[in-house]
Amino acid sequence: MRSSPNIIEIKSLNKIYKKGDIQIPAIRELDCSIGKGSFTSVIGKSGSGKSTLLNLIGGLDKADSGRILFNGKDMSSFNRKEMALHRRTSVGMIFQSFNLIHHRTALGNVMLALAFGGVNSGKRKKRAMELLSDVGLGNRMDHKPTELSGGEAQRAGIARALANRPVLLLADEPTGNLDSQTAEEIMALLTGLNKQGLSIIMVTHDQESATTVSDRVIRLKDGQIIEDKKVQI
């Protein structure tokens, strides 16, 4: 198989939510390719389909029709086991509300992700400590999410997302709950990860940060791409 320069190739993708008799098309005939090593921002009004698109790429949800090729592999052909593996090891996800497990410490959250990724128990603690140090949280590992600031919680979320060495990071409004100074620090962390070769797709409300950190900005409206711009950085 010829290796593609794209980590993601999306063809005629459709996702329709059904609520009783009502059908809500969230993604409509969407086509898009995302290059390996790129940093793409996805913007658009609330309800335009941004989270749905990330969830489909992340394997949290299944499309109704169309295809997503991940590193050349058609995700619609994945069985449950392959999809679980995709979620645990191929992609990492971070969220606006961090989605950490509340009764576990930062270290515990990262160790759990490592367990899901199949890292054996003897190696988890050391690796989790390294991951947390790498994101600047070396001195807060034993804190639970409620004992962390928003920025610290997002750093823990990033460490968890990176636990199983994903090739693609999906970020859904990662700075939506943060003040502007902290948001800048998180953006700088993401930029650094991208420079190390990690591909990133980030949904954001913040058009300014989209154009400063990413090399491409895609605008969604009603589940379709209405604008797709390269950014000089």
- Report the length, in residues, of the chain: 233
Say how far apart CA 84 and CA 103 lie, in whole Å: 24
Measured between alpha carbons, how far is 63 from 25 in angstroms, rounded to an integer?
11
Q: Does 155 bind ligand ADP (CB under 6 A)?
A: no
- DSSP code, position 63: -
From the CB of 149, what's the least distance to ligand ADP, in Å? Answer: 25
Closest residue by beta carbon to Mg ion: 51
Q: Using CB under 6 A, which residues numbered 1 to 60 contact ligand ADP?
A: 17, 19, 24, 26, 44, 46-52
Give the one residue of 6, 40, 48, 51 binding Mg ion; rule: CB under 5 A. 51
Note whether 37 and 199 are within 8 A (CB).
Answer: yes
* Interacting span for Mg ion (CB under 5 A) from 42-50, 70-78, 138-146, 180-188: 42-50
Q: Which two tokens stand for residue 151?
A: 């920025």
In the complex, what is the shortest distance from the CB of residue 104 to ligand ADP, in angstroms, rounded to a whole number?
27
Query: In the complex, what is the shortest distance from the CB of residue 93 to ligand ADP, in angstroms, rounded to a whole number?
Result: 14
The residues near 49 (Cβ < 8 Å, ≥ 6 apart) are 15, 26, 27, 28, 30, 220, 222, 223, 224
Q: Output the smallest distance, CB 168 to ligand ADP, in A.
A: 18
State in angstroms the smallest separation of the CB of 119 from Mg ion: 31
Name the site residues for ligand ADP (rule: CB under 6 A). Answer: 17, 19, 24, 26, 44, 46-52
Name the site residues for Mg ion (rule: CB under 5 A). Answer: 50-51
